[in-house]
């Protein structure tokens, strides 16, 4: 199937049946997120993979009781940098230099200008910038799940501070952004499963300057 057909097939699954998803399919979805393009190649986010039933049960009330948290096979928590530090920016460019066989100082001017721009932002603005990069990976993960015929529910409906505390994300310099619940639809109990997909009409959605 084409990507467009996969996207037409997927929907925000409201009820999952608890069937485990093969780890190779989870890994495929995670790899799609890892390969996401990001601003200046900084990749300022990480994905936390959770399949432990006890931990998912602790997360469910943080996610306002949504059943997909515990009925899913896995949940993926997308978490962004809480700030851009010099160490993080330096590490990104050092990796690029090593893997591309370039001198360590190959992009010093660009790197220094970039860090000056980022560090001039407030910490809240830095997190907001990083979170926008996380959403690129988030979208690609949803598309990859659809390609694998795996159901996925994107979620912003949770208490970020409580989830951050539970997962101790502050120790990693991260803050939660969004969640994807991964599993298989419970067709007999999901009210949305047979509903028509509704999106803006093309003529309303696309604004052309010709």
Helical segments of the chain, H only: 3-9, 23-34, 53-62, 68-71, 86-100, 108-119, 123-147, 160-167, 202-205
In the chain, the N- to C-terminal Cα span, in Å, equals 32
Any idea what DSSP says for residue 73? S
pLDDT of residue 117: 97
What is the pairing mode between strands 174-183 and 45-50? unpaired
Please provide residue 175's backbone torsions phi and psi, each rounded to the nearest 5 degrees.
-135, 140
Tally of CB atoms within 10 A around 204: 8
* HSE (side-chain half, CA atoms, 13 Å) at 178: 20
Residue ranges of the chain with per-residue pLDDT less than 70? 1
pLDDT of residue 4: 95
β-strand partners of 79: 46, 176
β-strand partners of 50: 75
Average pLDDT over the chain, rounded to an integer: 96
Place of tokens 């999901």: 190
pLDDT of residue 83: 97
pLDDT of residue 1: 58
What is the pairing mode between strands 151-155 and 74-81? unpaired
Nearest to 12, CA basis, from 79, 55, 77, 72 = 72
**Angstrom distances, CA of residue 170 to CA of 113, 160, 161, 163, 173:** 27, 12, 10, 11, 5
β-strand partners of 94: none
pLDDT of residue 62: 98
Query: What span, in angstroms and rounded, lies between the C-alpha atoms of 187 and 210?
Result: 45
**For the segment 79-112, what is each residue's pLDDT rounded down to a tens digit?**
999 999 999 999 999 999 999 999 999 999 999 9
């Amino acid at each position: 199937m084409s990507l467009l057909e996969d996207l037409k097939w997927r929907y925000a699954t409201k009820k999952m049946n608890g069937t485990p998803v093969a780890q190779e399919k989870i890994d495929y979805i995670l790899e799609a997120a890892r390969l996401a393009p990001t601003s200046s190649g900084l990749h300022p986010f990480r994905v936390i993979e959770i399949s432990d039933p006890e931990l998912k049960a602790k997360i469910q009330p943080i996610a306002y009781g949504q059943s997909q948290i515990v009925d899913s096979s896995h949940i993926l928590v997308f978490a962004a940098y809480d700030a851009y530090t010099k160490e993080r920016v330096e590490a990104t460019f050092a990796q690029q230099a090593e893997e591309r066989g370039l001198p360590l100082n190959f992009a010093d001017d660009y790197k220094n200008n970039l860090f000056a721009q980022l560090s001039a932002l407030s910490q809240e603005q830095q997190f907001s910038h990083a979170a926008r990069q996380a959403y690129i990976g988030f979208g690609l993960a949803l598309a990859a799940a659809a390609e694998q015929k795996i159901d996925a529910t994107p979620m912003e409906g949770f208490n970020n501070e409580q989830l951050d505390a539970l997962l101790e994300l502050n120790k990693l310099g991260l803050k939660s952004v969004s969640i994807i619940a991964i599993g298989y639809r419970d067709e007999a109990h999901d009210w949305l499963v047979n509903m028509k997909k509704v999106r803006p009409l093309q003529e309303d959605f696309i604004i052309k300057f010709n």
